[in-house]
Amino acid sequence: MQLIEHYLSIQGEGLHPGKLTYFVRFARCNLSCSWCDSTYTFGKGDEISFAVVANAILGSKARFVCLTGGEPLLHTEDCLRLIRHFPEIHFDIETGGALDIAPVQTPISSVIMDWKLTHSGMSSRMKEEHLRLLRPDKDLLKFVTDGSDEEKAEILALIARTENLDFPVSIQPVWGTDSQKLTEWTLSLKNPRLQVNLQIHKLIWGDKRIGV
């Protein structure tokens, strides 16, 4: 498998914040967001055997695994091999909105779709047909936003267009922006689909890699 790193930590965001989680970070990305905090994943990474990663997951005792990147769906077969190997573990798959998520949607996996807004520079790469695949009881749509009026308008429009789909939606501030203002705005919407995620791993360790 082409990986940047793999390690045990806590989940800092998404559906299971605070949970003991084993992270498998795949190399390469099909996007290049302006606010990306993982540009070190854009390279080819290292070739690490499935057995090494599987044994590390087993030894960690974690009951949650996060497949992230980069873009893990550039490595769909490796993702599925891990999911099938550990039927007792829950997998979170962090992906953008540009690639088909259907192949990795299983009863023991959740997709966290990080939808790119205008200021990411990648909004034109998003495909709205992929939103219809998100499951209300399993998956999450995530907006990482700078809190600008322009991006708030985008968020509201997309929430309105997907109202009948009923999957949960996470509002997450770009690291270093005003999380209080964004949280208060989210509360003002009074929408039960919404949640606010802060990157609690960064609150603990700062804005640095924790897998090395």
Domain locations along the chain: 2-205
Mean pLDDT value across the chain: 95
Cis check for the bond before 70: say yes or no (omega within 30 of 0). Answer: yes
Q: Global pTM?
A: 0.94
**Cβ–Cβ under 8 Å, residues 46 and 1:** no
Q: How confident is the model at residue 35 (pLDDT cuts 50, 70, 90)?
A: confident
86 three-class SS:
coil
- Helices 50-60, 76-85: crossing angle, 10 deg rounding: 40
The CATH superfamily assigned to 2-205 is Aldolase class I (3.20.20.70)
212 has pLDDT over 60: no
Q: Using CA atoms, how far apart are residues 171 and 82, in angstroms rounded to an integer?
A: 29
